[in-house]
Amino acid sequence: MRRPIKKRPVVSPDIVHGQVDVERLINYVMLRGQKETARKIVYGAFDIIKESKEGGEPIEIFNAALRNAGPLMEVRSRRVGGANYQVPREVRPERRLAMALRWIIAASRKQKGVPMHKALAKELMLAAKEEGDAVKKKEDTHKMAEANRAFAHFAW
């Protein structure tokens, strides 16, 4: 029997831009319940993007970064007859958004010795230009799915 569909909490839009995706980014950046600190980091990153010479509208760059960092395919493990296969699957839009946000934040946190708002701004701008660690992670995921395309018939 299949498990029931999980009821996910509805995220309200953020207070400055009125976008749900920006609030999701704030929630992913937040550590130990310090939401105001997370807001300062995200809005500080948006200010850096606005003031940079190659930057433009922060929301447009943020949306482009999400589009470029979100994977279309991924591999999932599937056990068939005592063997595990990496089966390529299409990624649902909600999961694509979550993975893109997670990868962008992980790439930002990996930069040591740089304030988080600067690292986040840099990673968002790189992802918008289809560069950076988050986009590399997406490309690696796509390569893995392509390499295991022979097992696509095991998809459920």
Q: Looking at the predicted structure, is the pLDDT value of residue 154 above 90?
A: no
> How does pLDDT run across 114-152, given as a tens digit for each residue?
999 999 999 999 999 999 999 999 999 999 888 888 877
- Mean residue pLDDT of the chain comes to 91
Residue 154 lies in a domain: no
Residue 6, in any domain of the structure: no
Higher pLDDT, 152 or 75: 75
Residue 5 maps to a domain: no
pLDDT score recorded for residue 54: 73
In sequence order, what are the beta bridge partners of 73?
Answer: 90
Whether residue 125 contacts residue 107, with contact meaning beta carbons closer than 8 Å, is answered with: no
Percent of the chain exceeding pLDDT 90 equals: 66
Could you tell me if residue 105 is inside a domain? yes
- Answer whether residue 91 shows pLDDT above 80: yes
- Distance between CA atoms of 27 and 98, rounded to whole angstroms? 11
**Is the confidence at residue 39, as pLDDT, over 90?**
yes
**For residue 155, is pLDDT > 80?**
no
pLDDT of residue 69: 94
Mean pLDDT of the region 92-103: 94
Identify whether 68 is part of a domain: yes
What residue numbers bound the domain in which 131 lies?
20-77+87-149
The pLDDT, as a whole number, for residue 120 is 95
Question: Closest Cα partner for 40 from 15, 61, 63, 68?
Answer: 15
Q: Per residue in 41-73, is it b (16+ CB within 10 Å) or e — as a string? A: bbbbbbebbeeeeebeebbebbebbbebbbbeb
CATH number, domain of 130, equals 1.10.455.10
12 pLDDT more than 70: yes
Q: Is residue 14 part of a domain?
A: no
The predicted pLDDT at position 55 comes to 65
Count structural domains, the chain: 1
Bridge partners, 84 (sequence order): 79
Does residue 26 sit within a domain? yes
